[in-house]
Structure 1
Amino acid sequence: MRLPVVLAAAALLAAACAGQGAPHPAAHDTRGAVPAGPAEPASAVKLVGGGRFGVPASGTSAIAYDPKLVPAGATARVTAESGAVMATSTVTVEGFLPDRAYGVHLHVNPCGPDPEAAGPHYQHAHAHASADNEVWLDFTTDPQGAATVTARQGWAFVPERAPRSLVIHAKRTKAAGARAGTAGPRVACVTLGPQ
């Protein structure tokens, strides 16, 4: 008894789908499409920035605001990336003052001629400054003025509001108290963009 019912349902389904074979509209034409590479999470973010620090000017990706603390010829390379659940950020600097500490954070806006153009710190979930809610990459240079530091967060960047710059400050970041998250004047900035 069940066989006729199943056959009737299959015939109805086939008839309903018969008109579904129309080609895609031109805007969605898939002919000649290149096969996609390995799938990445929809929330993947990959940002990079860096170069030799220059004077503040529009369009410059690495800006030195204080040449006494970021000498001529100093460079930086920055990566900030995340998948669905974790973020990793790395900064490598060369040519900075030797044996000196700097505070470093990701910020919400690109760099600009004014040090404040980068806006506030990038924050993950709530409005308080901490190494758990922000990306802090403080470093102390070696005797040659170089350093590399990596920070890992247990959360991902939100693609629609990913960080847009890395700001280097004159002092190490205060970790606690009413001034938590502060690190003195902004001495340099690196604009981040998609890789």
Structure 2
Amino acid sequence: MKTLAVAVAAALLFTGTAHADPAAVAYTFATFESYSDKAKAVTYDAKVPGGAKVTVVGVPSVGGRTTVLLVLKGLLPNRAYGAHVHVKRCGAAPADSGPHFQNVGDPVQPSVDPAFANPRNEIWLDVRTDANGFAYADSTVDWQFTDRHAQSVVLHNEHTHTKPGEAGTAGPRLACVNVAF
């Protein structure tokens, strides 16, 4: 885990992210498991095996930006997953984490309008695992969490769609990790 923490720190340095307030850094290191009140990371589907590892780090920068890094280990090999930051904590049911967090909220939910459901207004972290089930993604947006805070990252069944009427969708929710952004 120490090696992973060093890799995360190095990745953030290479993205040019400087801490605005170290106390505002959000992070979770967890293992996917079945739902319980104490679980940090929950799997709802065998496509995210119990025992797989997840790291999420969210860092605000001095310039008003936010970088989020997602690292996954032990997922199915050579597979695409969608991933997004969501508004609520993980729950017993996949839908409990609510909709995607949007900097500018779409008044129509679920949001499938590309004017709102896009990687500039939401945090998208789509990945493709390697032959060993390892994957990572990062996303930097030109805004920060202020009085509204996201609470989780959800892994979806497929990469995120972008067409009108389906923008932001990525299939069923497979797993969720709690992160206090």
TM-score, length of structure 2 as denominator length: 0.79
* Aligned: 1:115 with 2:102: no
Aligned match for 1:77, one of 37, 45, 55: 55
* Aligned: 1:106 with 2:85: yes
Q: Is the 8 A contact 1:50 1:190 kept in 2?
A: no
Give the match for residue 132 of structure 1: 120
Give the match for residue 186 of structure 1: 173
Using the aligned pairs only, state the percent identity.
36
Q: Is the 8 A contact 2:34 2:50 kept in 1?
A: no
SS at match of 2:33: coil
Q: In structure 2, what residue type is equivalent to 1:191?
A: N
User: 1:180: how far off?
Assistant: 0.2
Aligned match for 1:51, one of 4, 14, 30: 30
| Structure 2: runs of 5 or more not aligned | 1-18, 107-115
TM-score, length of structure 1 as denominator length: 0.74
- Measured against aligned partners, the alpha-carbon deviations of 1:32-74 in whole angstroms (never above 9, x if no partner) come to xxxxxxxx757x732112311000122211000002x012321
* Aligned: 1:148 with 2:136: yes
- Measured against aligned partners, the alpha-carbon deviations of 1:105-137 in whole angstroms (never above 9, x if no partner) come to 000111111111111101012312111100000
Question: Which entry has the higher C-alpha Rg, 1 or 2?
Answer: 1
| Stretches of 4+ aligned residues off by more than 3 angstroms | none
| Structure 1: runs of 5 or more not aligned | 1-39
User: 1:154: how far off?
Assistant: 1.3
User: 1:101: how far off?
Assistant: 0.2
Distance across 1 between alignment mates of 2:80 and 2:29: 20
User: 1:193: how far off?
Assistant: 2.7
Distance across 2 between alignment mates of 1:190 and 1:89: 13
Q: Is the 8 A contact 1:54 1:64 kept in 2?
A: yes
Distance across 1 between alignment mates of 2:20 and 2:132: 40
